[in-house]
Amino acid sequence: MKILVIGGTVFLGRAIVDEALRRGHEVTVFNRGQSGPALAGVETVRGDREDDGALAALVEGRSWDGVVDTCGFEPLTVAKSVRALAGRAGAYAFVSSFHAYADWPALGVDESMPRHACAVDASPGDVPYNALKAGCERVVEEGFPGGVLIVNPGIIVGPGENVGRLPWWLETIARGGRVLAPGSPHRSLQLVDARDIAAFLLDRLADGGVGRYLTTGVRGNTTMGELLAACVEATGSDAELVWADEQFLQDQGVSPWTELPLWAPDIPEFAGTWTASSAKALAAGMRCRPIAETVADTWQALRNGGCPAPKYLQGETPVGLDKDKHDTVLTAWDARGLTHAVDARG
């Protein structure tokens, strides 16, 4: 196939480009050149997707079997590429998110559940930022005159991860010593490797690129304990995991999700975080590698200098607990244990 990737230089986009090249596809990437150098074996077209002129130059004299839009976050921006690519690509694959679904993360969503009521002309400020993905989806669905494929990833991990959730755990555990871990080691997670999404998305494009799929891991494909143990194993660290009570951590001002990445507390607002249904994608052929493989490959990529900059952000929020705060909270947790021991002795 001839494939255009909007983005393509980092994490998921890069995984899609790598997999497409591995399959012998002809790949064009369109990006500004700010996130990384041009890739070997790929046609690179520089430009800003906000700029109609740059999009016009991109499509001049070119056409593709499919376009993969990895970096659409605002409906009015996505509308520009949809307009420019109409008649130039057979199918438009849009990388959306669980965030398009109104009930995630409170409920375990599936493809039939309602999406945010985000209009095709909504701007940031009209609706919560995450909800804009629903508006982007509608722009593609209503505006592209060809196959439309929507993938809604869950939490993505893997080599080159640029949010920094798994990389932060790996780097923290690699330093060794006692490491705070949130809640229960038995807490079930549901993670998906970027490379598995890439393979599935390209399979679907080869089939005509039509449909909507939640693309996350098998429900319960790991637990917090197994994930962190895999980090200990991969890094060869002597780290000792210290499992601290969730309420205690919150009382100490530790923010779930961002400061201790992948920690979704056991409260109603997060009840569906790790219980989405990937049944449709799995039935259509999505394969999910074991989490231990993802962890080992992510550590290898970090050691090879694959650490993205700036590190690590979720939107504007830094990811990962500051070392001093970590040590202060750990000391407080130990002191709490001592208090209990004294109490127990009476």
Ligand X SMILES: NC(=O)c1ccc[n+]([C@@H]2O[C@H](COP(=O)([O-])OP(=O)(O)OC[C@H]3O[C@@H](n4cnc5c(N)ncnc54)[C@H](OP(=O)(O)O)[C@@H]3O)[C@@H](O)[C@H]2O)c1
Which positions touch ligand X (CB under 6 A)?
A: 7-13, 31-35, 48-50, 70-71, 95, 97, 153, 155-156, 162-163
Handedness of CA 201, 306, 162, 243 (dihedral sign): positive
Give the nearer residue to ligand X in terms of CB position, either 7 or 183: 7
Give the nearer residue to ligand X in terms of CB position, either 153 or 272: 153
CB atoms near residue 33 (< 10 Å): 12
Give the nearer residue to ligand X in terms of CB position, either 31 or 278: 31
Give the nearer residue to ligand X in terms of CB position, either 151 or 228: 151
Q: Closest approach of Cβ 307 to ligand X, in Å?
A: 14
Q: Closest approach of Cβ 261 to ligand X, in Å?
A: 10
Q: Closest approach of Cβ 89 to ligand X, in Å?
A: 16
Give the nearer residue to ligand X in terms of CB position, either 6 or 180: 6
Say which residues have a Cβ less than 8 Å from residue 295's Cβ, sequence separation at least 6: 166, 170, 227, 230, 231, 233, 234
Tokens of 155: 């939490």
Give the nearer residue to ligand X in terms of CB position, either 49 or 326: 49
Give the nearer residue to ligand X in terms of CB position, either 50 or 52: 50
Q: Closest approach of Cβ 129 to ligand X, in Å?
A: 10
Q: What is the SS3 string spanning the chain?
A: CEEEEECCCCHHHHHHHHHHHHCCCEEEEEECCCCCCCCCCCEEEECCCCCHHHHHHHHCCCCEEEEEECCCCCHHHHHHHHHHHCCCEEEEEEECCHHHECCCCCCCCCCCCCECCCCCCCCECCECHHHHHHHHHHHHHHHCCCEEEEEEECEEECCCCCCCHHHHHHHHHHCCCEEEEECCCCCEECEEEHHHHHHHHHHHHHCCCCEEEEECCCCCCEEHHHHHHHHHHHHCCCCEEEEECHHHHHHCCCCEECCEECCCCCCHHHCCCCCCCCHHHHHCCCCCCCHHHHHHHHHHHHHCCCCCCCCCEECCEECCCCHHHHHHHHHHHHHHHHHHHHHHHC
Q: Closest approach of Cβ 324 to ligand X, in Å?
A: 27
Q: Which residue has the tokens 């499919």?
A: 66
Give the nearer residue to ligand X in terms of CB position, either 5 or 179: 5
Q: Closest approach of Cβ 253 to ligand X, in Å?
A: 25
Q: Closest approach of Cβ 243 to ligand X, in Å?
A: 24
Measured at the CA of 227, the angle between CA 221 and CA 230, to 5 degrees, comes to: 120
Name the residue type at position 119. A
Q: Closest approach of Cβ 212 to ligand X, in Å?
A: 14
Q: Closest approach of Cβ 312 to ligand X, in Å?
A: 11
Give the nearer residue to ligand X in terms of CB position, either 187 or 195: 195
